[in-house]
Every structure is written in structure tokens, then in C-alpha cells.
Structure 1
Amino acid sequence: MIITTTPHIEGHDIREYKGIVFGEVINGVDFVKDFAAGLTNFFGGRSGSYEGELIQARENAIKEMEQRARQIGANAIVGVDIDYEVLGTSNNMLMVTASGTAVIID
């Protein structure tokens, strides 16, 4: 399945718009990752533990969006947007939402 942020796919005509599809993932960040990220913040550098959480959450949100598009008979998704939020009283939850328009292309 072609998944793109653009409104159309070069070389393909959109035959039918099936509707907007979403994929949502909420991941908690555990104490160990939070502690490791705190050390990185103190000493400087990139936080591999948080980056890993972010990458995994984004990939899962896109997979979920793709599954929902397939369920309604689409073979591509255009206009994809990915949003990130932190949730929880301690901001220890990461929410990633992927959305786009499910379409049928030639």
C-alpha cells in the first residue's frame, strides 16, 4: 500500500475516496527510560530510549491506519499527517496519531 503525505500519487489516478482513516497509539514511558533520559538531559546528548519509544509509536500508528484503510477497501492513503502529544499527570504518556485519506488508485 502506498502511504504518502502528498494529496495525490504521481503516476496514479485516484478513482475513489473511501474516507478519513486514523491510527492512534498511546505508550507509557517506564521509570528506567525516564531515568536514562534524565541522565541524558543532565549530561547532554540524544535520548535513545525516548527516540526508540517515539519511533515505535509512530510505526504502530501508521500500521493501524493502514489496517483500517484496508478494511474499507482502500489500496493507498494520501494526505497523511502525524501528530504527537504527551499525556498523563506526569506527562509520562506519549500519544501518536496518524491520519490520512483512504483512496483507491489505478
Structure 2
Amino acid sequence: MFPINWELRFGIVSGEAILGANIFKDVFAGIRDIVGGRSGAYEKELRRTKEIALFEMEEEAKRLGANAVLSVDLDYETLGQNGGMLMVSASGTAVLVE
């Protein structure tokens, strides 16, 4: 386990990403919802959105001088008319692990 000097906390850092879902993906997802099964297009967009949010959070931590982020929380939301946009928020505590 890495020792953490709690005096080297930099506070809460966060990253957010919002991506719109393509109209063609919406159509195919709707068809898949009717007949059952998973929507690969939405799952791919959600993973991509999560990666962007985590990257943004990590970049904020680096700017503060941290080299790790603890207790990361991911929140997922849909936005816009008919939930046509995906939003992921990532947050955690930036620290310096020695």
C-alpha cells in the first residue's frame, strides 16, 4: 500500500463530458429496444464519454501537482430532448503519493 501524506491533498477534482448521440444510432437503438438486446452504439458512446471525463479529471489533478486521484465517483445522466445527449461526470480527491 502506498503511504499518503494527507497534508498533500489538493482537493476535489472533476471532469465532465457531454456527447450527442447520432440520429442513426438513435434509430437503430430504438429498433433494438423494441426487439430486445443490447445497444452496442450507445454502449460505445457511453464508454467514450466516460474515458473523456476521466481524462479531464486526471488533467486537472496533474495541473494541481497531484499524481493520483482517490475515491473516484462516476455519475451518468441523459440530457436534452428525449435524452439525446449523454453526460458523464467524474470526481475524486487529488493527492500526491510519495
- What range is the shorter-chain TM-score in? over 0.9
How far, CA to CA, are the matches of 2:51 and 2:19 in structure 1?
Answer: 12
Alpha-carbon RMSD across the aligned residues, in angstroms, is 0.7
| Equivalence for 1:5 | none
Q: Compare the two structures and name the one with the higher helix fraction.
A: 2
Q: Which TM-score applies when normalising by structure 1?
A: 0.88
| Equivalence for 1:81 | 73
**Given the alignment, which residue of 36, 53, 76 partners 1:61?**
53
Residue 34 of structure 1 aligns with an amino acid whose one-letter code is D
**Given the alignment, which residue of 77, 94, 97 partners 1:102?**
94
Q: Note the residue ranges of structure 1 that are not aligned, 5 or more in a row.
A: 1-10
Instruction: Give 3-state SS (helix, strand or coil) of 1:46's partner.
Output: coil
Give the % identical residues. Answer: 50
CA positional deviation for 1:90 = 2.1
Instruction: Give 3-state SS (helix, strand or coil) of 1:45's partner.
Output: coil
Q: Note the residue ranges of structure 2 that are not aligned, 5 or more in a row.
A: none
CA positional deviation for 1:73 = 0.2
Runs of 4+ deviating beyond 6 Å? none
